[in-house]
Structure 1
């Protein structure tokens, strides 16, 4: 297992924060007033040009429509250049880890979107069985999938550009989902905690040493995701 800094205690802190936010919302504490205040503020300060700009940038967090296909295409490209099937492994890991966490949590918490005007107290958790707002899937997807892209592009891009991919895009998605009232601000905050934990789990996996079926090994398709030859053979670096 690869070392990820900070150590495991950081994951536990993030999980504790996620639980604390969830409990605070479930108990209907004053934290709900923060959600309402932020929602009312952005609704009152959203000119048409800003709305459409935010809508465009919000696609950076579209999992099934944008991020998953982008990760698959990147894995195919990197796998072709490195002559390895290993680039597919982080994509499979990202798919599984988001599928078993985001969806069940959304179904369980029953919270509607900040833009829902047809529900009395849409800010409440465990309030509307059809609600699917908590936590923000866009934000979790952005953190997880841009982390996967960083794993795949580790042999291509310098660290500075990788950091922009990993942190810049999720920050934009967090802002746009809140600004457009697609999500409550606490949906995003909880998603940050959950998404970073999931990302750190994927970053710990030793993708380059996971045993593969002998068929791939015998045919030379079991090499590491990022190789010196890969970095030298591309003009993108």
Structure 2
């Protein structure tokens, strides 16, 4: 058996992030979703039968027909709210990043949410459609009236946030299971907004299409995510190296290294000075060239090698009025002798 046949199925099916390819299934999904997106927008702008269906569902008021489900569905719609779902999915993908030693799961989630906010937010502000609770004219499409509900943000967010788990699945079984869970959440959140009366039915249809388009566009963003991962990892390693403490050697310091402690110089470390003989011109004749006598040449010694000399007698200069130390000390009889010796 060849080595290539022993590769795990996950490695064989993993696409190359540098060169994403357009499969036939993805091509038909992209074309169909774009057609649904365009048809929904055109149907609402032209006030077609789709707008009439919106009004029929709204006037039916499902939350009044089945009030017993109101509390449960009011909590369930949180599964499409951007903040809680993003935190929950990010926690799971963060654990996947730690396990797989890669930042791709979190980068894919961040990229998909960025695309979702840019595309859905721009369309919401551009159309300015009002919701069912704020509608003014029965039968109108309620466009260009400073609203922000077309397409449904909860629905599109449910498609993208839960669909990213299916997009990042590594095995076909996990991908199918995650796709079914994401489809269930997306369908349930969308229909819950219609039940609560916060969105038109056409808002939900356009939200489904907008979320699927974001997921289908993610493979084209794989090269940018790969470059961002390399950049972030390089920056992280540089920051860790900058904060790393200087290693301190456990052994004794080595002389000459920056970590060696300077040692105080002792007398034993000082070099021994050798006697230097001074040779002057004119030594043979005993006189310098100018005729002055020269002292005999002798070797200079270090102070520590010289013999200490103790001075003999007094160091005071002689004085005529000063009594020499050889005279007797002053006293009753010595005073007269001192004066007689002095001539007094």
The TM-score range, normalised by the shorter chain, is: 0.7 to 0.9
The answer to whether the 8 Å contact 2:124/2:151 transfers is: yes
Evaluate the alpha carbon distance shift between residue 116 and residue 216 of structure 1 in structure 2; reply closer, same or farther with a 3 A threshold: same
Evaluate the alpha carbon distance shift between residue 216 and residue 54 of structure 1 in structure 2; reply closer, same or farther with a 3 A threshold: same
Partner of 1:51: 70
- Identify unmatched segments of 5+ residues in structure 2: 1-19, 238-344
User: Secondary structure in 1 aligned to 2:89?
Assistant: helix
1:104 to 2:128 alignment: no
Partner of 1:76: 94
The answer to whether the 8 Å contact 1:72/1:88 transfers is: yes
Q: Which moved more, 1:95-104 or 1:162-171?
A: 162-171
Separation (CA, whole Å) in 1 of partners of 2:163 and 2:63: 34
Q: How does 1:177-192 map to 2 (within 5 A)?
A: 177-192=193-208
Aligned-pair CA distance for 1:172: 0.8
Evaluate the alpha carbon distance shift between residue 139 and residue 215 of structure 1 in structure 2; reply closer, same or farther with a 3 A threshold: closer
Say which one has the larger Rg. Answer: 2
1:175 to 2:210 alignment: no
TM-score (norm 2): 0.56
Evaluate the alpha carbon distance shift between residue 76 and residue 127 of structure 1 in structure 2; reply closer, same or farther with a 3 A threshold: same
Q: How does 1:128-207 map to 2 (within 5 A)?
A: 128-129=145-146, 131-152=147-168, 154=170, 158-202=174-218, 205-206=221-222
Deviations 1:148-194 (A, max 9, x none): 12234546x73443123221110111110111111100111111222
Following TM superposition, where does structure 1 have runs of at least 4 consecutive aligned residues deviating by more than 6 angstroms? 217-220
Separation (CA, whole Å) in 2 of partners of 1:215 and 1:106: 33
Equivalent of 1:210, from 215, 226, 232? 226
Structure 1 or 2: more helix by fraction: 1
User: Secondary structure in 2 aligned to 1:128?
Assistant: coil
Report 1 or 2 for greater relative contact order, CA contacts < 8 Å, sequence distance ≥ 6: 1
RMSD: 2.9
Separation (CA, whole Å) in 2 of partners of 1:44 and 1:84: 45
- Identify unmatched segments of 5+ residues in structure 1: 221-237
Evaluate the alpha carbon distance shift between residue 10 and residue 89 of structure 1 in structure 2; reply closer, same or farther with a 3 A threshold: same
Number of residue pairs aligned between Structure 1 and Structure 2:
217
Partner of 1:18: 37
1:61 to 2:80 alignment: yes
Separation (CA, whole Å) in 2 of partners of 1:22 and 1:37: 19
